[in-house]
């Protein structure tokens, strides 16, 4: 029998909520009520040539990661609101930020982002609950020196998932539950040296999905990773994630979608056909897919101006963005296409990849670049490409 995903069966109809240790803490910190969306604006309130309005014609949300500056600076906020209808917090929902000290929570940035989304008729992608990076120091230190035992760590993880997902219950469209667990190797597989795998073993991943589903039965639960749609040349990582996802579904784990980050670099090859084929392969399991962190970096003169040093990059950068969105458009199960920041001015790329930049849709002065017009053009032409009507709840 072909597997049917929980999403296809209606995610909200899943397990009865028998909350674990997270319940009391959830009640203590939850400051919002379920489904309190404001929906002040709609896609048709915006310029019909905006990315969000064009995407809405085919039922695909167009998103961006936001950092606080994108909300607090009017010129940034205007672009965020007018071009995108789903937002991912770049950092503000990561464990390091939300629980800087044990039991001490800071929801300021996350609350601001959710509020900004609701004011602008946009959705939110929660990011991320179970990841080896950007963990609070008290947690990693405690695990390293043994002052946090294995059983305590299980409890902390469960509590973290219940508190965070519970706080925004009914207000998060997709949650990146687990992030970046697979090896960049051939063959690939779950990284045995990953912090969580070393500490708790691989069953912590399905557990996180089960807890997240209990905490918000209406949220689409995503596995998120990079190079899992053909970008690594061998397709080994995609094969490994595909096999693992099938196992999870066979075990009844509420995994509902695969998020491919889409961090590309013009110095490497990239096949849009392979990318699309791999997205389609995930959907054969009954899963949805999403592009969650798209950017295309290249070598630049300096981190401030970010002028490409190779003139061909001026063509390759928008071309690879186009390859990605064309694939996303061609796969009706692709829920959203999200860029990891919309302007080179606040992109993570110059800080993480030495000598590289020019990775986003807008330049450092907030002017749209060829990549912006590429996405706009592809979306304009998309209505005839994607025939399916989106049926997702909400």
CA angle 61–234–196, rounded 5-degree value: 70
Give whichever of 6 and 86 is closer to ligand XIL, judged by the CB atom: 86
Joined together, the tokens standing for residue 78 give: 């205007």
Please give the residues from 244 up to 303 whose contact with ligand XIL meets the rule CB under 6 A: 261, 293
**Count of positions on this chain that bind ligand XIL (CB under 6 A):** 6
Interacting residues of 69 by C-beta distance below 8 A, sequence separation 6+: 76, 346
To the nearest whole angstrom, how small is the minimum distance from the Cβ of residue 294 to ligand XIL? 11
Q: Catalytic residue at 180?
A: yes
Give whichever of 6 and 220 is closer to ligand XIL, judged by the CB atom: 220
Please give the residues from 96 up to 155 whose contact with ligand XIL meets the rule CB under 6 A: none
- 194 near 200, Cβ under 8 Å? no
- 184 near 237, Cβ under 8 Å? yes
> What long-range pairs does 352-358 form, CB within 8 A, spacing at least 24?
353/265, 353/297, 355/299, 355/300, 356/265, 356/297, 356/298, 356/299, 356/300, 357/297, 357/298, 357/300, 357/303, 357/306, 358/297, 358/298, 358/300, 358/306, 358/307, 358/308, 358/313, 358/317
To the nearest whole angstrom, how small is the minimum distance from the Cβ of residue 261 to ligand XIL? 6
What mask, x for binding ligand XIL by CB under 6 A, covers residues 303 to 342? ----------------------------------------
Nearest Cα residue to 378 out of 46, 54, 81, 45: 54
To the nearest whole angstrom, how small is the minimum distance from the Cβ of residue 126 to ligand XIL? 12
Question: Is 91 a residue that touches ligand XIL (CB under 6 A)?
Answer: yes
Q: Select from 179, 235, 317, 343 the one that contacts ligand XIL (CB under 6 A).
A: 179
Q: Select from 46, 321, 348, 372 the one that contacts ligand XIL (CB under 6 A).
A: 348
Q: What whole-number distance in Å separates Cα of residue 178 and Cα of residue 312?
A: 36
To the nearest whole angstrom, how small is the minimum distance from the Cβ of residue 262 to ligand XIL? 10
Q: Considering 180, 320, 333, 356, which one is annotated as catalytic? A: 180
Question: Is 90 a residue that touches ligand XIL (CB under 6 A)?
Answer: yes
Give whichever of 356 and 378 is closer to ligand XIL, judged by the CB atom: 356
Q: What whole-number distance in Å separates Cα of residue 275 and Cα of residue 255?
A: 21
Active site residues per annotation: 180, 293
Q: Binding residues for ligand XIL, per CB under 6 A?
A: 90-91, 179, 261, 293, 348
């Amino acid at each position: 029998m072909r597997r049917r995903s929980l999403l296809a069966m209606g995610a909200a109809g899943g397990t009865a909520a028998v909350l674990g240790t997270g319940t009391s803490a959830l009640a203590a910190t939850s400051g919002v009520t379920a489904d309190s969306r404001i929906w002040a604006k709609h896609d048709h309130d915006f310029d019909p040539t905006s990315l969000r309005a064009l995407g809405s014609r085919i039922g695909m949300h167009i998103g961006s990661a936001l950092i606080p500056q994108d909300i607090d600076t009017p010129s940034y906020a205007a672009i965020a609101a007018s071009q995108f209808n789903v937002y991912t917090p770049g950092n503000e929902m990561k464990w390091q930020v939300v629980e800087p000290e044990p039991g001490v929570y800071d929801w300021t940035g996350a609350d601001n982002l959710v509020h900004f989304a609701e004011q602008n008729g946009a959705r939110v992608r929660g990011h991320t609950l179970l990841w080896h990076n950007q963990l609070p120091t008290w947690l990693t230190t405690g695990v390293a020196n043994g002052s946090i035992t294995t059983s305590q760590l299980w409890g902390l993880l469960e509590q973290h998932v219940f508190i965070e997902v519970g706080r925004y219950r009914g207000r998060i469209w997709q949650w990146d539950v687990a992030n970046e667990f697979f090896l960049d190797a051939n063959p690939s597989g779950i990284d045995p040296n990953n912090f969580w795998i070393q500490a708790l073993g691989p069953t912590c991943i399905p557990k996180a999905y089960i807890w997240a589903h209990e905490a918000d039965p209406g949220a689409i639960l995503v596995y998120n990773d990079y190079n899992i749609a053909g970008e690594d040349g061998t397709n080994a990582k995609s094969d490994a994630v595909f096999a693992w996802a099938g196992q999870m579904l066979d075990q009844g784990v509420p995994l509902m979608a695969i998020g491919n980050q889409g961090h590309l670099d013009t110095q490497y090859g990239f096949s849009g056909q392979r990318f699309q084929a791999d997205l389609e392969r995930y959907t054969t399991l009954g899963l949805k897919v999403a592009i969650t962190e798209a950017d295309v970096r290249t070598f630049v003169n300096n981190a401030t101006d970010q002028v490409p040093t190779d003139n061909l990059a001026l063509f390759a950068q928008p071309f690879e963005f186009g390859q990605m969105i064309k694939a996303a458009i061609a796969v009706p199960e692709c829920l959203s296409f999200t860029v990891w920041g919309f302007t080179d001015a606040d992109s993570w790329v110059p800080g993480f990849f030495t000598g590289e930049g020019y990775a986003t849709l807008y330049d450092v002065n907030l002017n749209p670049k060829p990549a912006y017009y590429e996405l706009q053009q592809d979306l304009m032409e998309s209505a005839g490409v994607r025939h399916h009507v989106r049926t997702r709840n909400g």
